[in-house]
Copies of this chain bind each other. A is one copy, B any other.
């Protein structure tokens, strides 16, 4: 029937995602996206739409990456709440390539660059932040039920505290801190939440 696609959609999305992640939306020109993906100008527009649409697809790709990490750690029912949270920190800050770590977090970066994003774009950016929050909150509630949360602390506030620490770490990651330095920072926060 029709001519088959030549590019590998996953590879294209992953490479473009890394470009946006490293340099942000504004500094990632279409030319740079073509260079890093290896696809042609027209192919990009034909298969992925304009730059805005493509960016949203790349954020979706990032969300999948995050979801994999969340599923393997926070949502791992073999782990107790604190171990799951610890595993998530280990996974996202330490067991990650230097390349990825030094780029921080695409979502955090986007929030810091975002003002001109349209409604839908902001929605996509916040979706993943929301799913991390939700997964953490579930574990915090569980920890609380088991009596493992410091007294006077709500599961909701504990969640915000952890996420604040994680987001700070993602900024510090871009500023050159090592995986272990970042882990130590967040682990201290976690200890302060435990009973």
Contact = CB atoms under 8 A, between A and B. Distances in A.
Nearest to A103: B115
Contacts of A168: 163-169, 171
Nearest to A122: B175
B113 A22 contact: no
A151 to B, nearest CB: 14
A23 B115 contact: yes
A10 to B, nearest CB: 24
Nearest to A166: B168
Contacts of A126: 175
A148 interface: no
A172 interface: yes
A61 interface: no
Contacts of A5: none
Nearest to A27: B26
Contacts of A185: 160-161, 164
A93 B108 CA distance: 19
Interface string A139-168: 000000000000000000100110111111
A22 B114 CA distance: 9
B165 A113 contact: no
Nearest to A171: B167
A115 B24 CA distance: 9
A112 interface: yes
Nearest to A174: B111
Which of A111, A169, A181 has the most chain B CB atoms closer than 10 A to its own CB? A111
A131 to B, nearest CB: 15
Contact of A113 (B109, B184, B192): B109
A47 interface: no
Which of A164, A181, A188 has the most chain B CB atoms closer than 10 A to its own CB? A164
Sorted from nearest, which 4 A-B pairs have the closest CB atoms? A168-B168, A26-B26, A164-B168, A192-B192
